[in-house]
Structure 1
Amino acid sequence: MDLETDFEEDVATLGDRITAARLQAGLDQAGLAQAIGLSPKTIANWELDRTEPRANRMQMLAGVLNVSLGWLMNGTAGDEAALAPGDETDAMRAEIEAIRTLHKELGDRLERLILLVDRAEEKP
């Protein structure tokens, strides 16, 4: 299966592309959800086109599923080649923001876990 050519832009939905890329990557919904820190229900809703991922999650999806962001978003291959010079830095800034968001989310999770451990150790 060649993900860059198996879908026509006017036929496949975002959910279709997420599903196909996930299957190509050998992941089930739970595995993809774990890789990006969400619930399997969220992945299912994306794949059924009930909801759409935020921009930072789209970046994460493209990375985890090893597909281009352009293909994931609209079914076109080679989005990097189509970028205008200013768009290239915009894409990099979007990636930086996605990483910052993920970093903050992981920090928050770590702090919650530390609190739980501290509370558990305080109990007699």
Structure 2
Amino acid sequence: MKKKTLFFFFLLQCFINLSCSSDNYSESSQVFEDLTATVKGQVSCQTMNDGFVFEIELDEPINVSAQTSLKSIGITNLPENLKMEGTKILISVRPAEFPNGTCVTTFSPEYFFENTKASLTP
């Protein structure tokens, strides 16, 4: 009987830990609104659905964690009309899924974002 109680307690702890980790995910899904940036070009990195990542340089850095501030980020779904190097854009982004391939050795997971809204700057 004691083993069953310990096992039940173990399962309960696992469930609590999983619940807490999903709360952390929503915090990391923060959307950064209305950023101004310049498209720097395509990086040698493919997205999960075989698209390409485009690097943009932000006019102002964003804080993605207490220890990390980024001035350049990789966009996994930049619209075709905004992909030309030097294009000035207004963009809103959220963290994206970490792409496969050479990205693993070249970039940290914090570098990748997907656009939620993008346009040319007025």
Q: What TM-score results when the alignment is normalised by the length of structure 1?
A: 0.22
The higher relative CO (CA closer than 8 Å, separation ≥ 6) is in 2
The structure whose residues are more often helix, as a share, is: 1
The structure whose residues are more often strand, as a share, is: 2
Larger Rg: 2
